[in-house]
Amino acid sequence: MKLRRLKVDGFGALKGEFFFSPEHVALIVDDNERGKSTLLAAIAAALYGLDGDRRTHRLVTPRDRWRPWDGGPYRVELDVQVSGEDFCIARDFARDTVAIWNTRGQEVTAEFREGKDEYPVGKRWTGLDADEFAKCALVGQNELDAVVPVDEKSRRGSTLHARLENAADTRVGDTNATEAIRVIEIALRKYTCPEVESSGTIDTALARLETKRGLLDTELRALEHDFAGIAEPLDALVGLVEEERTVREGLQRLDGERSNALASDARRQLADDRLRRDELARLVAEADAAASAAHLEPNTEAEFREVVARYEEAARGLQALEERRREELAREREKRGSELGELARHADRTAADADRCVAVAAELRRIAEDDASTRTAVFTLREALARQGHDPERIQSLSARFAKRSDAEQRLLRRQNDRALVYQTEVAQLEQMRTGSTEVLREIDALRNRWRLPGWFLTALGLAAALAGVVVQILNGLPVLWTSLLAAGATLLILGLGLLMAGARARAAERAASLRQLSEAQRRLHQMRTDRAEAEVGLAELARAMGYRDQVDLLREWSEYARLMEESAPALRAQEQLATIEARRRQAMEAARALVAADTTGGGERATIEPADLERVAQDIRRALALQQRLVDLETGWEWMAEERRVAEAAATGLKDRAVRILHTAGLAYDPSLSWAEHTRELAERAQAQARHALLTGELIPQAEGRVLAAGRAAELEHQLRAIETERVEAAGAEGAASRAPLEIEAEGRRLREALDQLQKRRTDLRLEVEEVLRRYQTEHPDKTAQRERIDQALLRARRFKAAADLAKETIASVATETHRRWADYLNQRVTQLLGAFGARVEQLRFGDDLDFSVKLWNGQQVARGRADLQLSAGAKDQLYLAVRLAIAEFLSRGQSPLPLLLDDPFATSDDERARAGMKLLIEHFAPLHQIIVLTCHRRRYAALAQMDEALYAERVRIFEIKTTGANAAT
């Protein structure tokens, strides 16, 4: 691959176009810090692009690093010759575009696409990716210093040995074999195995996994052993079931015997029961015969005798009470009659009359109080009016004049003042409205006239033209002429009519509104004036009728009258109240006279009646009423005696009824014709029958009933008997079994039940034991089996990982040794050659298999690398490094298209002789194979070198200057 041209439109601080001749060494001269390194980066960027991924470049991405400082275009274009064909690569980093053209001008970008959107063009041509290309083709100035760092720490971290090893071990990665092995060993030391919660070494994980697996195996075997061991208990369990069945059969047999005993007992009980039931029936029959006296109480006879005696005593007490009542009543009636004779004049009066007297007396007192207070108020108000200067006579005269006027006249007078005020206010507004409307109408008419005038003119002109056209047609004139005249006439006519219509309709709505407003204003004005004129006529007539000179006098007097009326209104109202009180007093006095008129002690008709008189009359009326009431109460006051009599009568009746009831209760009928003594004898006979019945029902029958079996029990016995007999039929074999005593049966039953209990207990224990083993097996075995499977898988994974990692480690170690040996052989030979060509003071360099090296100095002294670092000058170390780099580049690019070598001031630290030798080596030995581009800031040195080897430089070297304008020039 040969570089032909580089055009930079913006890449860091660099701009310009650079032409390279593949046949010549390009020596690019520039001042320091002007962009030499940037140029190398631009070439690499053109070939491989710039990574803009922030995930891999957290601080600054390569794309951001080389973004032009002035913010202009960010673009490079590189012409390259590959296998005889020219290509042009154009990359615009600002727009993230790339385009590649071949010699024929065809775009071949797509051929270089790799992955989603990457175009590593250089990789296609050199077989190296960007990192490899940088390692092989770019020799940066800074790297020379880093080859053997000054400080010890840096030297340990990044030594030539390490760099060589990297180059030897991997093209792409920065990892050498040692580090790769270390990485694998780290992975082996930090193996995470969640199954045993291990994150230590793989061996630990394996050991734990194996231990865990062994544990699980043991547990599973134990479970399986326990499971297998339950066969014997299961056999025993089956035997116990058999035994239990035998015992249950024995119990069943005993149940049969027990049933036989129960049946004979039931039969005996049922026979006894039948005898007892016969006895009971006889007693019940006797009891039924005496049942009629059964309800007789035991003490009925004594009670009957006592009731009869008490009845006869009560009849005697009743007669004595009636005598006493008659005497007492006659004495009291005589005493009350004399008192009532004194108040005979109020005999027909009622309590309402007395209340009315009291009410009229109270009314008279209230009227007297109201009259006094109202008279005082009238006097006070009149005094006040007099103090204000009001002449009572003037008031009376004005009142006499105006008060009797009709309501219409008074309304006319009252509204006169309001009417004048409204008239003054509204007339001004209505006049203003009318003037405004008139102005608007005038303005609209003027507007319409402005439209109408040209309208009329155009209409006339159109008519004339049309007329002319008709005339020309009639006269057989040119058709064009009369047609034109007719058309023009029609057009003008339409325009004229249009203007007229527009004029007639201009602001039509506004004009109508103004007209309505104007007519409304005029109508209101007219109405107000009419009202005013009518009111004035009415006032003039009223003034005349009332004797006034004119309406002005009338209105003045009316105003005075209105004011006086307003000020003397309280006094007038008080006067009216006095009149009202007087009327009330007269009315009350009339009522009082009517009430007092009947009182013979009142002295006949009187002018005034005092409230005390009325109250005395009321008191007499109430006394008379009270005496009348007491007479009435005297008649009813003997009721206590009547009550007593009624009680005695009731007691006697009750006693008789009770005696009769006792007879009825005893089943005897009361016969009035018989004496109470005869009834008593009959009752004694009934009492004897009742005693026998009570004995039967209370003692003899219950005892008999207690001896018979209860209905449920008898039924139960019968049911039991039937069931037993049925069972006996079903189990005919058991019938033949010898009957035993119940006690023997019970003893045998207890023994068998105990045996059964023991069997069941043993069976339960055994079953629990078996079930526990089964449960454990069923619960734990699947889980542990699954767990063991997981452990097995983890173990397999871990073993495979360990085997793979060990294999990788061993293979890397063995291969690395071989690789390093090969590298060492090659480097020993080639680097020594190159150093000789440079004229370095190193006679020989020896790399070991570990890629460490020792040097043989010019004086034959063999020193190890460490000492060589100290003994060699900076220039010598740089030459050593350059030689190694050139050798590596050669080695790595073997078998591929020769790479261009871009060297950034490789001899900056060398003396002139060594620089000359180095350049000659590059020009003579490397340039025929590789395109060589050397960048330097030592302009004079290289000019001197060119003079010294003039023929060589003239033939094989092109020198360029980087200029700020961007164009470079060859010298």
Partner 1 sequence: MALARFLQISDLHLGAPLGWLPAERREARRRDQRHALERAVREAIERGAHAILIAGDLFDQEGVDAATLTFALDAFNVPGCPPVFIAPGNHDPYSPTSLYWSERMLRARAARWPEHVHVFASPAWEARPIAALQGVRIWGRCFTSHVESTERPLAAAALAAITGGESTGFDLGLFHGSRESHCPPGQKITAPFSDAEATASPFAYLAVGHYHAASRLRADEGAAAGVRLAYAGSAAAVNAGEVGAHGALEVRIEHGRRQPFVEIELVELDRRRVHDVTADVDRAASADQIDRRVQRAIDDAGAGENDIVTVRLTGRLARGVRYAGPSPELRARVFHLRLDLRKLRPDYDLDLYRGADPTTTEERFARALIEQLDGEKDPLQRAVIESALYYGLDAFRLREVTPGYEELEA
With binding defined as CB under 8 A, does residue 949 bind partner 1? no
Alpha helix positions (H), 547-607: 551-567, 569-596
With binding defined as CB under 8 A, does residue 52 bind partner 1? no
Helix (H, G, I), strand (E, B) or coil at 703: helix
Q: Which is nearer to partner 1, 233 or 538 (CB)?
A: 233
Strand order across the beta sheet in which 25-29 lies: 138-139, 901-904, 932-936, 25-29, 957-961, 969-970
Near partner 1 by CB under 8 A, which window of 300-308, 432-440, 601-609, 810-818?
810-818
With binding defined as CB under 8 A, does residue 168 bind partner 1? yes
With binding defined as CB under 8 A, does residue 222 bind partner 1? no
Near partner 1 by CB under 8 A, which window of 62-70, 179-187, 451-459, 580-588?
179-187
With binding defined as CB under 8 A, does residue 783 bind partner 1? yes
With binding defined as CB under 8 A, does residue 231 bind partner 1? yes
Residue 760 CA to residue 768 CA, distance in Å, equals 12
* Terminal-to-terminal C-alpha distance of the chain: 24
Residue 44 CA to residue 51 CA, distance in Å, equals 12
CB of 788 to partner 1, least distance (A): 9
CB of 830 to partner 1, least distance (A): 14
With binding defined as CB under 8 A, does residue 895 bind partner 1? yes
Q: Which is nearer to partner 1, 192 or 673 (CB)?
A: 192
With binding defined as CB under 8 A, does residue 181 bind partner 1? yes
Near partner 1 by CB under 8 A, which window of 651-659, 746-754, 812-820, 956-964?
812-820
With binding defined as CB under 8 A, does residue 674 bind partner 1? no
The binder of partner 1 chosen from 444, 652, 812, 884 (CB under 8 A): 812
CA-nearest of 89, 73, 130, 75 to 4 is: 89
CB of 182 to partner 1, least distance (A): 8
Q: Which is nearer to partner 1, 554 or 791 (CB)?
A: 791
8 Å CB contact between 441 and 512:
no
The binder of partner 1 chosen from 276, 390, 781, 846 (CB under 8 A): 781
CA 275 to chain centre: 89
With binding defined as CB under 8 A, does residue 807 bind partner 1? yes
Q: Which is nearer to partner 1, 226 or 727 (CB)?
A: 226
The position carrying tokens 């490397």 is: 926
Q: What are the Cα distances from residue 838, in Å, to 834, 852, 876, 908?
A: 6, 22, 10, 14
Binding mask 115-154 for partner 1 (x = CB under 8 A): ----------------------------------------
Q: Which is nearer to partner 1, 545 or 796 (CB)?
A: 796
CB of 897 to partner 1, least distance (A): 14
CB of 771 to partner 1, least distance (A): 8
Residue type, 54: R
With binding defined as CB under 8 A, does residue 887 bind partner 1? no
CB of 793 to partner 1, least distance (A): 9
The binder of partner 1 chosen from 22, 124, 215, 227 (CB under 8 A): 227
Helix (H, G, I), strand (E, B) or coil at 485: helix
Residue 385 CA to residue 394 CA, distance in Å, equals 12
The binder of partner 1 chosen from 32, 778, 861, 971 (CB under 8 A): 778
Residue 624 CA to residue 345 CA, distance in Å, equals 9
With binding defined as CB under 8 A, does residue 777 bind partner 1? yes
Residue 655 CA to residue 374 CA, distance in Å, equals 81
8 Å CB contact between 676 and 659:
yes
The binder of partner 1 chosen from 753, 797, 841, 846 (CB under 8 A): 797
The position carrying tokens 């490079």 is: 76
Label the pairing between strands 138-139 and 901-904: parallel
Q: Which of residues 915-934 bind partner 1 (CB under 8 A)?
A: none
Near partner 1 by CB under 8 A, which window of 392-400, 493-501, 642-650, 817-825?
817-825
Residue 80 CA to residue 20 CA, distance in Å, equals 10
8 Å CB contact between 9 and 15:
yes
8 Å CB contact between 828 and 845:
yes
Alpha helix positions (H), 839-938: 865-871, 874-892, 912-921
The helix (H) or strand (E) run that includes residue 856 is strand 853-857
Q: What are the Cα distances from residue 294, in Å, to 285, 657, 670, 694?
A: 13, 22, 19, 7
Q: Give bridge partners of residue 904 from the DSSP assignment.
A: 935
Q: Which residues contact 12 (CB under 8 A, 6 or more apart)?
A: 35, 38, 41, 42, 65, 66, 67, 68, 69
What φ, ψ does residue 850 adopt, rounded to 5°?
-90, 10
With binding defined as CB under 8 A, does residue 238 bind partner 1? yes
Q: How many residues bind partner 1 (CB under 8 A)?
A: 63
CB of 91 to partner 1, least distance (A): 24
CA-nearest of 881, 902, 964, 927 to 37 is: 902
The binder of partner 1 chosen from 359, 598, 709, 808 (CB under 8 A): 808
CB of 782 to partner 1, least distance (A): 3
With binding defined as CB under 8 A, does residue 804 bind partner 1? yes
What φ, ψ does residue 49 adopt, rounded to 5°?
80, 180
Near partner 1 by CB under 8 A, which window of 377-385, 574-582, 782-790, 866-874?
782-790
Q: Which is nearer to partner 1, 74 or 853 (CB)?
A: 853
Residue 210 CA to residue 195 CA, distance in Å, equals 11
Residue 136 CA to residue 1 CA, distance in Å, equals 13
Q: Which two tokens stand for residue 695?
A: 């004995």
Residue 717: Cβ-neighbour burial (10 angstroms; 0-12, 13-18, 19+): buried
* Other Cβ atoms closer than 10 A to 127: 16
The binder of partner 1 chosen from 774, 874, 944, 970 (CB under 8 A): 774
CB of 174 to partner 1, least distance (A): 8
CB of 812 to partner 1, least distance (A): 5
Q: Which is nearer to partner 1, 132 or 599 (CB)?
A: 132
Q: Which is nearer to partner 1, 754 or 806 (CB)?
A: 806
With binding defined as CB under 8 A, does residue 163 bind partner 1? no
Q: Which is nearer to partner 1, 449 or 811 (CB)?
A: 811
With binding defined as CB under 8 A, does residue 170 bind partner 1? yes
8 Å CB contact between 493 and 459:
yes
The residues that touch partner 1, with contacts defined as CB under 8 A, are 167-177, 179-181, 183-184, 186-187, 191-192, 227, 231, 234, 237-238, 241, 767, 770-771, 774-775, 777-779, 781-783, 785-786, 789-790, 796-797, 800-801, 803-808, 811-812, 814-816, 818-820, 891-892, 894-895
